Chain A
Amino acid sequence: MKLRASALLTALLAGSLALTACGGGRGATETETTSSGASQSASQDAGGSEGFAADATIGVALPWLGTQNWMEAQTLFEQQLTEAGFKPLIQAADNKVPQQQQQIEAMIEQGAKVIVVGPIDGTQLGSVLGSAKDAGVTVIGYDRLIQNTDAVSGIVQFGSIRTGELQGQALLDGLAAEKGEPPYNIELFGGGPADPNAPDFFKGAMNVLQPKIDDGTLVVKSGQMDFTQAATQDWDNARAQARMDTLMSNYSGDEIDGVLSPNDGIARAIITSVKQAGQASVPVLTGLDAENESIVWIAKGDQYSTVGKPTELLVGKTVEIIKSLQAGQGMPEPDATANNGTIDVGLYQLDPVVITKANAKEVLANDAARLKLFEDNLS
């Protein structure tokens, strides 16, 4: 209780002192200073046009490894960056924002030339990415939009609205194919509101579904058609299942024909809920990510569709951009731009693919593992 603060501090500092013979100093960071000046002048297509060493360190900050797609991203980045001759530095943050902030800082510290950021919350990295930019590091957003900062040079992602549209279309096609004549009873689910893509998925899907709701083809019995009503906090499957359990009370004398689900985990949770409620026929479900488990469910006929966002395409595109930066050619021309709250950021958009039982074999032709999974479980 009576530790003497000053004495403690002395000891602490005395110790660190012994190690600081190799400490930094303004002189030591001189080179960074110049490169940061350069990047500031280059502003939008940051990273400078002079390029950097072919074996430079490339940082990749991923939100977590709790789902298959992020796990794959980690493996693919490791592979493709190493093949391209770079030194990959890949870290995942366990879905904790402060952790990710510190990881990005550590990457800057380790001299990364480019940092690829798959943000946990795209709005909460402002000051950290600011210091990346000051240190002359090019920041590329991966899979999700990065907001409220001018320090991001581009975003590589699957078009979120497009993804939503594909999901909506898959739902309509499935209903027509499996549920006979309209009207069809459906319910809507959204993703985690903290993920900037989630509202876009929903918006895209509604672009397709809203006209059909208006003309009476589709009926949302619960009436919950706003994103905030349909959203699933943290993309949490359990919450989605709990919500579906509640919604099923509307279908005591009736059957639910289809559900718009933003991803595969939630889709499976919904199917489970419907089965537990005692409905014999499985509703038409959409999904996202082509998770292994959902491939199995599609093969068995439990889940109607999923949307594959092949991670290798996304990683491939990102690495392509990094190569271009390395060669001194700057950022390639973006497909579109989006306002992130501070600046207009270039978007590099890829098209996702719908997978159903009918087309799975051809879509998965290049993905041996999933193809085998699909064929093994085909009923």
Chain B
Amino acid sequence: MRTLKQILGGNLQQYTMVLALIALIAVFHFTTDGRMLTPSNLQNLIAGNAYVLVLAIGMVMVIVVGHIDLSVGSVAGFVGMATAISASQYNFPWWAALLVGLLIGIIVGCWHGFWLAKMGIPGFITTLAGMMIFRGLVIWVSQSISKPVPSEFQIFGAGYLPEWGPAFTGMNNSTLLLGILALAWFVYAEVHRRQAALKRGVQSPLWVMLVRLGLMAIVIGTVTWLFGSGRPGTSFPIPGVILVVLVIIYHVITQRTRFGRHIYAVGGNRAAAALSGVNTNKIYFLVMANMSFLAAIAGILFVGRATAAGPSDGTMWELDAIAAVFIGGAAVSGGIGTVVGSMIGGLVMAVLNNGLMLMGVGADQTQVIKGLVLLAAVAFDVRNKNAGRPSLIGNLLRRKDATAPGKAEPEAALKA
């Protein structure tokens, strides 16, 4: 066990959701006679869920800061429709339509940020209003008729990396290159980390690093092979590449920048953050603006895959994103949650959906199962949380503990 800890490097409890995800994949792989881990299914899984995962990136930041955004589905739908209309009705070139979409996302975000940060309207209300406004606008501008998008958009929603180079690799060489780059980066990071540890006198046996790197190489190699060895013309899907790039950027922003720290500070204790020199309203504004920007990207990814923007695009997406964030370990009361955790949460839902479909389970039962999994995952996660990292339910449990001795001495509770 200690060895395992050394290799994984951290608290094993943090891996609860990862282990659940792996177990889920394993179960489905066997119950579907091996249809889960095939190149085409994994490609579909990523391409078909990229939009939810992109939303979850922004949503985790909103939830950490202590709000919630109910408008993302409507905003994504509106951006998709606006993009489609500017291309199909106003004959914008595809790239101009894309820019129009992203710009609308940012403007919508500023609109939400204005009401939340400057006017002090709670995020729930601001975005509930946004949900209605932008859903209405989608139907209004589209006259409820689906609009096609330029074929270039299909690249974002359903495209694949180019094929090139020698054929003896037996796989898509773009995917292979990505895999090699990822592995190179991990090797660099591991060596760098070990050097830093040694420099400050922390014990860091060489074999641990080698085992970690070995595992990493096998893992990345396998994933690369799985995505790269599909039907010729397929590869790691472009929406997946966009997603991975966004995850890396936002992971760094949330964990390694002052802005990221401030998000957690405001979510953890707004008054304390303000007294530490954090401009809380600015943080609120930026987080909301960013959320709608990401919603715009999600909307574009979706219309790219659907080849057309429809009037009901985005309905209920906000709830999928919120579910992903909470399965990923975020706390309802704010202050807790990570981008990577939310991606795991989103993948749990996606794999569940995909696996049940492969098994031929109907949408009705799938919904029930997903709801139960959401409850179970969050409950499980809450019970495993460290004492110093309470979530909403953790708080309730702790308050119960605090009052327990108060039953013998009721005045103790009253005094507190």
Contact = CB atoms under 8 A, between A and B. Distances in A.
A105 B48 contact: yes
A17 B217 CA distance: 11
Q: Which 6 A-B pairs have the closest CB atoms?
A: A126-B307, A15-B22, A13-B219, A193-B144, A127-B158, A123-B308
B308 A127 contact: no
A103 interface: yes
27 contacts: A2-B255, A3-B338, A3-B341, A6-B186, A7-B9, A11-B8, A13-B220, A13-B223, A14-B215, A16-B37, A17-B222, A20-B222, A24-B40, A25-B225, A109-B40, A109-B44, A110-B35, A110-B358, A123-B148, A123-B307, A123-B308, A124-B307, A125-B306, A126-B154, A127-B154, A127-B304, A148-B148
Interface in A1-59: 1-20, 22-29, 32-33, 36
A127 B19 contact: no
A328 interface: no
Contacts of B14: 3, 8
B360 interface: yes
B312 A97 contact: yes
B146 A23 contact: no
A12 B348 CA distance: 11
Interface residues of B, number: 83
Contact of B231 (A22, A32, A103): A32
A135 interface: yes
Nearest to B311: A194
A106 B42 CA distance: 11
B313 A23 contact: no
Interface string A72-85: 00000000000000
B415 to A, nearest CB: 33
Interface in B21-52: 21-23, 25-26, 29, 32, 34-35, 37-41, 44, 48, 51
B348 to A, nearest CB: 11
Interface stretch (A87-95, A174-182, A209-217, A304-312): A87-95
B162 interface: no
Interface stretch (A155-163, A226-234, A285-293, A350-358): A226-234
Contact of A3 (B26, B315, B340): B340
Given A29-B230, A124-B313, 4 more contacts: A11-B22, A20-B222, A101-B306, A125-B307
B353 interface: yes
Interface string B230-257: 1111000000000000000001000100
Interface in A231-245: 231, 233-234
B292 to A, nearest CB: 20
Contacts of A96: 315-316
Contacts of A99: 353, 363
Interface in B304-335: 304-308, 310-313, 315-316
Given A10-B8, A13-B222, A15-B19, A94 B344 contact: no
Given A25-B229, A26-B170, A19 B37 contact: yes
Interface in B128-143: 139, 143
B58 interface: no
Contacts of A10: 8, 212, 215-216, 219
B310 A194 contact: yes
A134 interface: yes
Contact of B230 (A9, A24, A121, A126): A24
Interface of A: 1-20, 22-29, 32-33, 36, 64-65, 89, 91-99, 101-103, 105-106, 108-110, 121-128, 130-131, 134-135, 147-149, 192-194, 228, 231, 233-234, 341
Contacts of B41: 105-106, 109
B300 to A, nearest CB: 14
A230 to B, nearest CB: 12
A231 B306 CA distance: 24
Given A25-B39, A91-B363, A33 B22 contact: no
B225 A106 contact: no
A94 B145 contact: no
A16 B158 contact: no
Given A16-B223, A97-B306, A233-B139, A91 B360 contact: yes
Nearest to B252: A5
B15 interface: yes
B391 to A, nearest CB: 12
A17 B218 contact: yes
Given A10-B212, A102-B357, A124-B310, A16 B25 contact: yes
A141 B231 CA distance: 25
A18 B315 CA distance: 37
Contacts of B232: 26, 33
Contacts of B32: 110
B382 to A, nearest CB: 16
Interface in B353-401: 353-354, 357-358, 360, 362-364, 367, 389
A122 B311 CA distance: 12
A329 B220 CA distance: 46
B166 interface: no
A126 B147 CA distance: 12
A234 B311 CA distance: 9
A89 B362 CA distance: 10
Given A1-B336, A13-B220, A16-B222, A93 B19 contact: no
B293 interface: no
A130 B344 CA distance: 29
Which of A12, A13, A108 has most B Cβ within 10 Å? A12
A91 B362 CA distance: 6
Contact of A29 (B22, B39, B362): B39
Contacts of B158: 127-128, 130-131
Nearest to A74: B362
Contacts of B336: 1
Contacts of B48: 98, 101-102, 105
Contacts of A1: 255, 264, 336-338, 389
Contact of B29 (A22, A106, A128): A22
B157 interface: yes
Contact of A26 (B230, B341, B389): B230
A15 B222 contact: no
A233 B312 CA distance: 10
Contacts of A233: 139, 144, 311
Nearest to A32: B231
Contacts of A122: 146
B106 interface: no
A33 to B, nearest CB: 6
Contacts of B103: none
A23 B43 CA distance: 13
